[in-house]
Structure 1
Amino acid sequence: MLKQFGWTKSVGVTSPYSSWHPKWLLCTTPLLLIALLSMTSANWAEVQLSTQVLIAWLFSNFATGFFEEVLMRGMCFYILLKAWGATKKGVLLAAVFQAIVFGLAHLGNLYHMPMIDVGAQVIFATLIGIGFAGLVYFTQSLWPAIIVHTIINCAGTINNYLVPNTNEFQSPSFTGYIVIIVIFLLLSTLPGLLYIKASQLHVTEQNDY
């Protein structure tokens, strides 16, 4: 669809590296901290590596990150921006609304997970969806978000792919979920909102000039 409508460059899929914001790598730091924290729950002592499993782990997480970013921060966010305009209110609404859609999409996990766990996933995805939107809007490319999304997914699935006989989902406590929500708020949502604000200030300064 993006190719059919000629949107691949506009949404940041085919935008050249030279057009990315010079500080794109620095802007990924808060989100990458989520991956780093997630890695602390990995059972490193029982990790077993093989070429086949390693390729499956990397490809699966990249495919998920690529698809979700193209769909949500690419298509959904871009369409909402075109509909509501690149004003302060329009960008904020587009970022929040696509994040809510991204969060609600995780309700599909109800068929194999308890309600409290899925509810937490909806909140996590919504919060990080705003962070990804801010990153995409600031860097003017989907690729920083795709890269970070892939790394976060890889960090969160180490046990599932690289530790044999790990099939059961270990649900955090209620307090644990609260802590995770605060972490996502601080490391994804707030930075994302700051990136959006910084981008708008830059545009305003250019227009004034």
Structure 2
Amino acid sequence: MTSPRTAAIGLGLADIAVTTLGALAVAALFPSASAWTARLIVVLVLAAGVAVLLATTRVWRTTGLREPRLLWLPALLAVLPLVGGVRLPGAGLLAVLVAGYAATGFVEEALFRGLIPGVLRPTGVWPSVLLSSLLFAAAHLPNMLFGQAPAITLAQAVGTFCFGVGYAALRLRTGALWPLMLLHFLTDLFLRVDALPAWAHWTVMVGGDTALLVYGLYLLRNPLVPPPAEAGVSPRR
């Protein structure tokens, strides 16, 4: 019988494999496609696969949003980049960004705050939070295949680990995924269309990830884990 950690790592590696193979396939089949278009194609494939997994599990079922007040910090951090104004790209790129980030929010929250923590639940709260966050960070390493600089990618991996801890804690305390998907989408999108100078943009991004890490550790002092039928990955009957 597969152990929870092995199953969770398998899901994480599957995400990395699909992203890697997808990036290579898009580059071979559509060599003139922009990096953003290539990302969109790959994330839509991932979204389809994750949707199938959700359809066969109970992860999408929750008891409703508990303690909604706890979402104040991620909501604030999501809109913070807009304090300097908005700089919109062309309509075509904006449509790609909106679609891509919406799909990304769905995929990453469903997988790394839903399916994988559900598999890891028998291992305890801390192993579940830390391993799911490490896998979330590793899932961003293939971004180098879309032309992202290695140094930026490594920095992104560290930031996404911090982000993952915060969102995993919120998942445990609130019991819901959909609000996290929405906040994740808005966070990514607003960081792409903000009009902040470079130093302020990076300060907001790094500061936000750090704040989420600290907030997550604070919330994990008393996590409210969803009931087994909601948190685990068991076939729907």
TM-score, normalising length: structure 2: 0.62
Q: Is this contact kept in 2: 1:120–1:177, CA < 8 A? A: no
Deviations 1:99-127 (A, max 9, x none): 11111111101231222111110011100
- Out of 38, 55, 77, the position equivalent to 1:3 is 55
Change over 3 Å in CA distance of 1:138–1:54 after alignment to 2: same
- Out of 95, 100, 103, the position equivalent to 1:63 is 103
Change over 3 Å in CA distance of 1:183–1:60 after alignment to 2: closer
2:76 counterpart letter in structure 1: L
Q: Is this contact kept in 2: 1:137–1:199, CA < 8 A? A: yes
Deviations 1:34-63 (A, max 9, x none): 222333466x3x53685x766544333221
2:130 counterpart letter in structure 1: V
- Out of 33, 47, 50, the position equivalent to 2:88 is 47
1:125 counterpart letter in structure 2: T
TM-score, normalising length: structure 1: 0.69
Alignment of 1:111-190 (within 5 A): 111=145, 112-158=147-193, 180-186=205-211, 188-190=212-214
- Provide the residue aligned with 2:112 in structure 1: 72
What is the alpha-carbon root mean square deviation over aligned residues?
3.2
- Indicate yes or no: 2:125 matched with 1:91: yes
Cα distance in 2 between the residues matched to 1:123 and 1:40: 25
- Provide the residue aligned with 1:15 in structure 2: 62
Deviations 1:141-171 (A, max 9, x none): 1112111111112212226xxx9xxxxxxxx
How many residue pairs get matched? Answer: 173
Q: Is this contact kept in 2: 1:136–1:144, CA < 8 A? A: no
2:107 counterpart letter in structure 1: F
- Provide the residue aligned with 1:207 in structure 2: none
Cα distance in 1 between the residues matched to 2:156 and 2:216: 19
- Provide the residue aligned with 1:36 in structure 2: 79
- Indicate yes or no: 2:234 matched with 1:191: no
